[in-house]
Structure 1
Amino acid sequence: MRTRHAGATVLAALTALTLAACGGGDVGGGADDDTASDGGGGGGGDSITIGIKFDQPGLGYQDGDTYTGFDVDVATYVADKLGYSADQIDWVESPSAQRETMLQTGQADMIFATYSITDERKETVAFAGPYFVAGQDLLVAEDNTDITGPEALEGKNLCSVTGSTSAQRIKDEYSEGVELVERPGYAECVTALVAGQVDAVTTDDIILAGLAAQPSNKGKVKVVGAPFSTERYGVGLSQDNDMCEDVNSAIEEMIEDGSWEEAVTTNTDGTGYTPNSSENPPTVDACA
């Protein structure tokens, strides 16, 4: 990520030199200017690369060149407070299994991808936030009355996304005999559920609500509605970042000015989902 101020300083210096050499003639620019962004952003070529999910309706979802969802809205708000307009954001897909690597290798400056803050992950990446607190739940077939919680999954097939900790937690803490099935994305898990290939899908309640609300899934699946964990969504950053405090300030401002609540309502409308009021809006942690 290049800062806007640095780009502006370089541009000003080049302008002054050109004017001096050409006697005040027109200044050349565009693609030959050293400040042009590889990502094509505005503002002197500055851009910021933000990782999101591309397959989570209501959170992070790609439809052509359009990106929507709560994570997208929070990321856009934070980027604006950091000095980047919406057209200066380069969105990149951040699958669960690749998030740490993307931050460590500089493929993303920030990641807003239903990224739960855990001590294990803090060993390799840093977090700002949390900006939302979800709860792990189950998605089952609409006519399923047997699965009422994680304890009822003994001998059942449970689907989650590769790299997620959700399914393993159920096996470790609730149903040792559950059979774990991994798919690359939650949409694939729901497809398997509708086809009868798995008995349940697990992840955070807000993700499941978004999946259940999709036209192709309506009337076929339902959220059990008995969350059994606390998932604190953080903003993933590299460990050597210099943005954490500014990101936290932006999240707090979003909560205070009402934009956070508006984003939650807009992205869960019609799903029947209500965030846990005792946890949301969340209290932002101090940067380590």
Structure 2
Amino acid sequence: MKLHKVTATAAVTLVLSLTAVGCGSSGDTEMSSSSGKKITIGIKFDQPGIGLKTPDGKYTGFDVDVATYVAKQLGHSAGDIEWKEAKSADRESLLQRGDVDFIAASYSITPERAKKVDFAGPYLLAHQDVLIREDDNSIKKPSDLNNKKLCSVTGSTSAQNVKDRIAPKAQLQEYGGYSECLTGLENGVIDALTTDNSILAGYAAQPEFKGKFKLGGFKMSNENYGIGVQKGSDLKPKINKALEEMVKDGSWAAAVKKNFGPANFKSGPAPKIGVVVS
């Protein structure tokens, strides 16, 4: 975990704050919302249902709920958390530089990534799937994607994987972001959007898309979501213990239902810690 230098000014401020609290000042409320032990956590800022920074500055999604629970088990209240955007391409460098304490950002555990960082978990087993229009009954199995317009985002390998391994006649459509794919799907310009089912479910669960889309229910790959930490960090066993407790007390299942339920997402049981499904 990162260490922060305490300046003389900060020390004086802390003493004055504690004195004020001891005198029963209005600082009681502020102190109750934060233990004063800051922790920096990397999440996605642009994935509804997974990790999203809303226009009013709040943070929502399954990864946010998991990270908040883990932080609490580590001794940090919600007020102690500093959220930092962890874009896919930046995750390893954020950990290696010590810019974050841990990352929960639809972060699939892979052998290549495990050479650079350590992973706690997994805490969710996702699968590559497709999102289609609710009234589309022409795509019932992966091979039905042949001759269909299939969308994914620039830099993603999801659509290419489908074309290479499953539906060679799929017509790939590459857009700049998932929101553009969703607009194309809604307007009939494309027939399906592909990426992890958890990400698709997060979008489909948003109020503005209610009743418009559905998941295909295909399991075209296994994506084991883990919490990334620095190589050799003593946080890994502590986070694993926190994840086990989250499953045990029902908080994990509640977070799945809250964030993915409206999309009829079939998560299956929580993964066993330390077991990566290939």
TM range (shorter): 0.7 to 0.9
Could you tell me which of 242, 251, 259 is aligned with 1:267?
Answer: 259
Q: Is the 8 A contact 2:201 2:215 kept in 1?
A: yes
Identity of aligned residues (%): 49
The alignment's TM-score, normalised by the length of structure 1, stands at 0.77
Q: Provide the C-alpha distance between the structure 2 equivalents of 1:238 and 1:261, rounded to a whole number of angstroms.
A: 28
The alignment's TM-score, normalised by the length of structure 2, stands at 0.80
Q: Secondary structure at the match of 1:236?
A: strand
Q: Which has the higher helix share?
A: 2
Unaligned runs of 5+ in 2: 16-32
Partner residue in 2 for 1:94: 86
Structure-to-structure mapping, 1:74-223, within 5 angstroms: 74-223=66-215
Give the superposition deviation at 1:286: 7.4
Q: Is the 8 A contact 2:52 2:60 kept in 1?
A: yes
Q: Classify 1:66/1:245 alpha carbon distance in 2 versus 1 (closer, same or farther; 3 Å).
A: same
Give the superposition deviation at 1:86: 0.9
Q: Is the 8 A contact 1:117 1:231 kept in 2?
A: yes
Regions of 4+ moved over 6 Å: none
Root-mean-square deviation over aligned CA pairs: 3.0
Partner residue in 1 for 2:47: 56
Partner residue in 2 for 1:231: 223
Q: Classify 1:92/1:182 alpha carbon distance in 2 versus 1 (closer, same or farther; 3 Å).
A: farther
Deviation by residue 1:216-256 (Cα, 9 ceiling, x = unmatched): 22333221223333221111223243311111111111111
Partner residue in 2 for 1:283: 272
Q: Give the number of equivalent residue pairs.
A: 258
Q: Is the 8 A contact 1:96 1:161 kept in 2?
A: no
Q: Is the 8 A contact 1:162 1:183 kept in 2?
A: yes
Q: Provide the C-alpha distance between the structure 2 equivalents of 1:104 and 1:181, rounded to a whole number of angstroms.
A: 35
Q: Is the 8 A contact 1:2 1:47 kept in 2?
A: no
Could you tell me which of 54, 58, 62 is aligned with 1:66?
Answer: 58
Q: Secondary structure at the match of 1:269?
A: helix
Partner residue in 2 for 1:2: 2
Unaligned runs of 5+ in 1: 16-26, 32-40
Deviation by residue 1:43-92 (Cα, 9 ceiling, x = unmatched): 44x42221212232222222122111211111001111222211111112
Partner residue in 1 for 2:23: none
Q: Classify 1:88/1:142 alpha carbon distance in 2 versus 1 (closer, same or farther; 3 Å).
A: same
